[in-house]
Chains A and B, each alone.
Chain A
Amino acid sequence: MKKLFLYTFLVMGVYAAQAQDDLLGGLVKEDAAVVKQNITSATFKSTRLINMQSVEMTGAGNLQFMISHHFGQIWQKNAGLQNVAQMFGLNAGVANTYLAVDYSPNKWLNLGAASTGNSQFEGWAKFRIIRQQTGKKNIPVTVDWFSSFHADATAGPSISDNAWNRFSYLNQLLVARKFNDNFSLQVMGSLIHNNINTYGVNNTNNTVSVGIGGRYKLTRKSAFTLEYSRQLNNYKNLIDETGTVYSYKPDLLSLGYDWDTGGHIFQFFISNTSMASNFTQLTTNNNKLTAFALGFNLNRSFGIKKVVKVAQ
């Protein structure tokens, strides 16, 4: 009988001691048993890789302002010391500014409008098609679709000049993968359609371009970026209205440094173009591969749609 009492008390004692641990342990076990959906975030720091769009979208309900600036060539051949006087392109009289504002009404759509300088305007819609994720579903890449139009509002040759001649369209597929916390890679394919084009045997209204880019995180707030685009057609031996044959340079190479200050993301880069718009960068680039120019992107986003209503 004594042994029985001893036995029961022992068991009860052990049970009571385990009670508190078991309470949290139970929650932890339950949480671990749920198969979660881990969606990869922050593949890149900004919605622009360098010149091209990245797969990042401005957050849902957020408004983003972006300024993108391209300066003149860093070193002009035969200009000697003038290059220094012009501060390596910063003060060369060439400054192309791209001012943009965009808003994401939800998680998969971003709408934006921009002024690219010289009476040119752009508008776009960016769609998030699939997101890279692990857990419940395993998807290795993030895929976005970017559609943009470019309108040329410069004074035309005559009043009867067809308005549709002034439009060009860019459709781009962006595929990116975040390999780990530090390294992300993106490939893109673009199709640019110009509504009007001079007649010529090599001239065409549709230009195709492919590109690759990536970023390598250096510290928590900074990253090194690289971007290369190659125009596949419509650049060699084109003919203009006077019959002159000319060619463009098909390569676009950019190297950059991203700096995230918390509220702003600064992107400093060198690129072999001084043009501000993707349309001209991808189809009418006159700079050869080594003719670099400085540039920077600066963006700031604001939470417009309130998802958190903190009562206080």
Chain B
Amino acid sequence: MKKLVLIFASILLGITCINAQTYKTREATIAFNPNKDQAHKDYAAESKEATAVLKVETADVALLVPMKTFHFNNALLEEHFNENYLHTDKIPNATYKGKLIGFTKEMLAKDGVYKISSEGQVTLHGVTKTFKAPVKLEVKGKTAIFYCDFGVKAEDYSIDIPGIVKPKLADETPIQTVIKFQLN
């Protein structure tokens, strides 16, 4: 009898696990413009192939960005980005693991714009640092879009910018992420 109850409980547990709602997208967009003069977009790049996953019950988020998917207008710039700055052959991905603060699953059910934030850990160029930034959530019908703008300092992540290029770049590179989930 005891064994039966134990088995029954484990199955119940299993069912609740399956019920945990998780949303995933493989087309999250990350864009950045490292120019000191933000009006000039010569060095700007963007990736439209980042993978993001959100677990609604626990407000956990994870993001995986394949660095080679960042494309620049100038092919030589892209080559330098991969070969000299980010060493993408050795460190192919950047990741984020964190929680959404102030997020409730009811937000996904009602159309609107919500101001929340996210806290977690970013791993870029093999270096992990704590992360905290405001997030804007826009829910409209069957889609939920998370917008997060934040700044990254190259030296924080051991990214070596040569002296000849440094004066042209901003001290803190602004990055914009747009993650769109399809709600079912």
B99 on interface, CB distance cutoff 8 Å = yes
Q: Do A23 and B45 have beta carbons less than 8 Å apart?
A: no
| Interface residue tally on B, bucketed by range | 35 or more
List B contacts of A33 (CB < 8 A).
none
Q: Do A303 and B44 have beta carbons less than 8 Å apart?
A: no
Q: Do B46 and A310 have beta carbons less than 8 Å apart?
A: yes
Smallest Cβ-Cβ distance to A23: which chain B residue: B62
List B contacts of A11 (CB < 8 A).
10, 13
Q: Which of A12-20, A78-86, A123-131, A197-205 contacts B (4 or more CB under 8 A)?
A: A12-20
Beyond A12-B13, A307-B73, whether A27 also contacts B62 by CB under 8 A is: yes
List B contacts of A164 (CB < 8 A).
none
A118 on interface, CB distance cutoff 8 Å = no
Contact with A along B43-72 (1 / 0, CB 8 A): 011100001010100101111101000011
**What is the CB-to-nearest-CB distance from B96 to chain A, in angstroms, rounded to a whole number?**
8
A148 on interface, CB distance cutoff 8 Å = no
Q: Do B78 and A7 have beta carbons less than 8 Å apart?
A: no
**What is the CB-to-nearest-CB distance from B52 to chain A, in angstroms, rounded to a whole number?**
8
Q: Do A59 and B6 have beta carbons less than 8 Å apart?
A: no
Beyond A31-B93, A261-B164, A307-B73, whether A4 also contacts B2 by CB under 8 A is: yes
A4–B12 Cα gap in the complex (Å)? 13
B156 on interface, CB distance cutoff 8 Å = no
Q: Do B72 and A303 have beta carbons less than 8 Å apart?
A: yes
Q: Do A301 and B62 have beta carbons less than 8 Å apart?
A: no
List B contacts of A23 (CB < 8 A).
22, 53, 55, 60-62, 97
Could you tell me which residues of chain A, from 25 to 77, have a CB within 8 Å of some CB in chain B?
26-28, 30-31, 38, 41-42, 58-62
List B contacts of A306 (CB < 8 A).
73
Q: Do A24 and B74 have beta carbons less than 8 Å apart?
A: no
List B contacts of A311 (CB < 8 A).
31
Contact with B along A208-231 (1 / 0, CB 8 A): 000000000000110000000000
Q: Do B83 and A41 have beta carbons less than 8 Å apart?
A: yes
Beyond A4-B2, A41-B79, whether A308 also contacts B72 by CB under 8 A is: yes
CB pairs A–B below 8 angstroms (10 shown): A4-B2, A7-B6, A20-B97, A21-B97, A27-B53, A27-B62, A28-B64, A28-B95, A59-B74, A312-B41
A residues in contact (CB < 8 Å) with B:
4, 7-8, 11-12, 15-16, 19-21, 23-24, 26-28, 30-31, 38, 41-42, 58-62, 220-221, 261-262, 301-303, 305-308, 310-312
B residues in contact (CB < 8 Å) with A:
2, 5-6, 9-10, 13, 17, 22, 31, 33, 38, 41-42, 44-46, 51, 53, 55, 58, 60-64, 66, 71-80, 82-84, 89, 93, 95-97, 99, 162, 164-165
Q: Which 7 A-B pairs have the closest CB atoms?
A: A59-B75, A303-B73, A303-B74, A24-B62, A23-B62, A310-B44, A27-B64
